[in-house]
Amino acid sequence: MTALVVFTHPKPDRFARELLDVTVAGLSAAGHDVDVIDLYRDNFDAAMSPGEWRAYTTAEAPTSADQQAYARLLARAEVLAFVFPMWWSGPPSMLKGFFDRALVPGVAFRLADNGRVSPGLRHIRRVVVVTAAEPPGHFPQRSTRQLSHSFGRSLRRATGWRTRTLVCWAGPGETSNSEKRQRFLARTRDRLAGVR
Amino acid sequence: MTRRILVVHAHPDPTSFSHGLFDLVIRVCGEVGNEIRVHDLYESGFSPVVSANEWSLRGAAPSTKPHLASYFDDVAWCDTLVFVYPTWWSGQPAVLKAWIDRVLANGVAWNLDETTGQVMPTLRNVTRIVVVTTHGRSKSANLLCGRAGRTVVVRSIRRLCSWRCRTHWLALYSVDRSTRFERDRFKQRVERILRRIS
A63-93: pLDDT as tens digits: 889 999 999 999 999 999 999 998 888 899 9
Print the domain residue range for A30.
2-192
Q: Does B148 contact A147 at a Cβ distance shorter than 8 Å?
A: yes
CATH number at residue A38: 3.40.50.360
Q: Does A53 touch chain B (CB under 8 A)?
A: yes
Nearest by CB to residue A47, choosing from B94, B117, B151, is B94
Number of domains in chain A: 1
Chain A neighbors of B92, CB-CB under 8 A = 90, 96
Q: How far apart are CA B15 and CA B10, in angstroms?
A: 13
Q: Does B12 contact A47 at a Cβ distance shorter than 8 Å?
A: yes
A to B CB pairs, distance under 8 Å: 141
pLDDT of residue A46: 95
pLDDT, tens only, A111-167: 777 767 889 999 999 999 999 876 545 566 666 677 777 788 889 889 988 888 899
Q: Does B146 contact A149 at a Cβ distance shorter than 8 Å?
A: yes
Q: Does A90 contact B91 at a Cβ distance shorter than 8 Å?
A: yes
Q: What ipTM was predicted for this assembly?
A: 0.93
Nearest by CB to residue A93, choosing from B101, B104, B117, is B101
The domain segmentation of chain B, as residue ranges, is 4-197
Q: Does A96 contact B119 at a Cβ distance shorter than 8 Å?
A: no
Q: Does A139 contact B155 at a Cβ distance shorter than 8 Å?
A: yes
pLDDT, tens only, B81-90: 999 999 999 8
Q: In chain B, whose CA is at the least distance from the CA of A9? A: B52
Q: Is residue B155's pLDDT more than 90?
A: no
Best A66, A138, A154 member to test B by mutation, with max B CBs in 10 Å, is A154
3-state SS, one letter per residue, for chain B: CCCEEEEEECCCCCCCHHHHHHHHHHHHHHHCCCEEEEEECCCCCCCCCCCHHHHHCCCCCHHHCHHHHHHHHHHHHCCEEEEEEEEECCECCHHHHHHHHHHCCECCCEEECCCCCCEEECECCCCEEEEEEEECCCHHHHHHCCCHHHHHHHHHHHHHECCCCEEEEEEECCHHHCCHHHHHHHHHHHHHHHHHHC
pLDDT of residue A113: 74
CATH fold of B4-197, please?
A: Rossmann fold (3.40.50)
Q: Does B117 contact A136 at a Cβ distance shorter than 8 Å?
A: yes
Q: Is residue B136's pLDDT more than 60?
A: yes
